[in-house]
Amino acid sequence: MPEPPVKTATPYLWAAPGDVNAFFGLMLDNVAGLLLTVGLLHVVFEFPTSFALRYMIPGTAIGVLVGDLLFFWLAFKLAARTGRQTVTAMPLGLDTPSTFGMVLFVLGPAFIAAKKAGLDEQAAALKTWHIGICAIFISGIFKFFCAIGSNQLRKLIPRAGLLGSLTAVALVLISFLPLIEILHAPMVGLVALAIILVTLIARIPLPFRTPGALGALLVAGTLYYVLQGLESSQLLPEMFRPEKLADTITHETAVSALLPTEWLTVFRFEWLGAMPDTVQYLPIIIPFALGTVVGGIDCTESAAAAGDEYDTATVIGIEAGATLLASVCGGVIQTTPYIGHPAYKAMGGRAAYTLATAIFIGTAGVLGYFAFLYQWIPKPTVFPILIFIGLEITAQSFYATPKKHYTAVALACIPALAALAMIYVNKLLGDPDMAAVLAQKPYLLAEQGTLRMLSNGFIVTSLLWSSALAAAIDRQLFRSGAFFAIAALCTLFGVIHSPLVSGAMYWPWDLAAEHLKQVAQYTAGYTLIAILLVAWGGHLWYHGDPGAMHAAEEVH
């Protein structure tokens, strides 16, 4: 048996020069997540920015504060246990896929639904906040249970299914939507994107070992303000003037967001009354929570490969605790361990970078100076970080999946394309003139209905489709049929393919005749596939097909 590591009396070197680079990388990742939350809510759904800054951001930032402090402490525990001075703390931050999922498919639709129900903007925003709190509270509870059996969870669903659904969000939403935003100011955004891709993907360092995220912010930010100065002085030709950003705030709004106290109303626990309204969003909430659990497990494994052996259940438990505490403090975005541990370790980071990130992000939210970051930092200078994250998640999904399952991962992206299309369809339908034109074209309405059914619950759809195909590739036709049977059941109750505009779940007997017809056809289709695959698998098994009999065997 190998001997246990020898403990030494040498104190843990928890701070090192490499922590500076690691801090800017982790901190700017989290700042980008907060900017994205507020910006998407305002631009896509016209959600009041001042409300988001005073109510939603403090609790969300507290989740990062607590999570990174706990990982800071955990690094000391690992150093004491192993006697190693080079332990690097696990990084934690806002989960980027969940940020898109919560904003686009929970918070935004909840806000629109509340206004359609007759609530004024402030009341609708308050109800949306309460639904967001409930959603994150449910995520935290779910992740606590997952922490207990985190390793067993991975055995139930093929890796292609779990990672395929994340790939769908990463490639189609996380990478695409920020790209549209940065192209509003292409001279600035493309420069920032180039710096991010060359430093973080091509791994070519900037001069003076400047972190890529910081370098992109400094270079592109300077360019942005130089162009602004030239434009103000009428020295910039008209053809080079960028579009005005739609989600900027005034200095007065930023000042009014300092030392926010409105978020403290969360401790009245009035948000618990929104729990029934939150149930309809479970098909979005649970898959994203599950995704962070799987991501946390993978992050722990990558940290172990880099030399830092953290306990998986502890890492997931801290993630769950930070998410739960964020919700109780009014947060609306869940936290997760980040995939960057090996990169931060390679930078020479120890534990100080997580402490610094915790303090910076936590105080930015609670003291309110994040509003000035929102005002001063041009979105095209930091959103390229999100594109990098989307590409990295996509690449990691393929790296971690057997080659034969690549097609299953790709299949998972198709329902997400429908969700992307519906974002812009809904924008068009928000224009009364455009809605009137569509109403006169039945074939367009039919296509819109199909898109809606494919996009509603698309995370679960992606998971089931890719899992079923991966099982079939492994010649596990019984298992593949089981996934399609689950899809039929999910369709019957609106977990996926809901025909309702809200995407809500339902009892099938309460549906209107037109909607019931659509649901019945989808359910029947999945049921027929399940029966076909079970019969097909039985035929192969009966005739002694060696592939069917040894289907569980992994072939890379």
What does 495-553 look like in DSSP terms, one character per residue? SSS--STT-----GGGS-HHHHHHHHHHHHHHHHHHHHHHHHHHHHHHTT-HHHHTTT-
Q: How confident is the model at residue 163 (pLDDT cuts 50, 70, 90)?
A: confident
Mean pLDDT score, 186-206: 92
Name the nearest CA neighbour of 520 among 501, 484, 483, 494.
494
Sign (positive or negative) of CA dihedral 99, 102, 108, 111? negative
Q: What is the percentage of the chain residues whose pLDDT exceeds 70?
A: 92
How far is residue 111's CA from residue 102's CA, in Å, rounded to a whole number? 12
Lowest mean pLDDT segment, chosen from 255-259, 324-328, 433-437, 447-451: 433-437
Check whether 220 has a pLDDT greater than 70. yes
Name the nearest CA neighbour of 309 among 150, 151, 75, 149.
75
Q: Given this model, what pLDDT does residue 30 score?
A: 94
Lowest mean pLDDT segment, chosen from 128-137, 232-241, 490-499, 511-520: 232-241
Domains of the chain by residue range: 18-163+247-374, 409-549
How far is residue 196's CA from residue 201's CA, in Å, rounded to a whole number? 8
How many residues in total does the chain contain?
556
Q: Given this model, what pLDDT does residue 433 score?
A: 66
Mean pLDDT score, 453-465: 89
Q: Given this model, what pLDDT does residue 548 score?
A: 58
Q: How confident is the model at residue 3 (pLDDT cuts 50, 70, 90)?
A: very low
155 versus 256: which is more confidently predicted? Answer: 256
Scan for tokens 């003139």, then name that residue. 433
Check whether 304 has a pLDDT greater than 60. yes
Mean pLDDT score, 88-107: 90
Mean pLDDT score, 389-398: 83
Burial class (CB in 10 A: 0-12, 13-18, 19+), 369: middle
Instruction: Please list the alpha-helical segments (H only) found in 430-512.
Output: 432-439, 442-455, 458-473, 477-492
Mean pLDDT score, 40-59: 94
The overall average pLDDT reported for the chain is: 87
Q: For 467-483, what is each residue's pLDDT tens digit?
A: 999 999 999 999 999 99
Check whether 1 has a pLDDT greater than 50. no
Q: How confident is the model at residue 555 (pLDDT cuts 50, 70, 90)?
A: very low
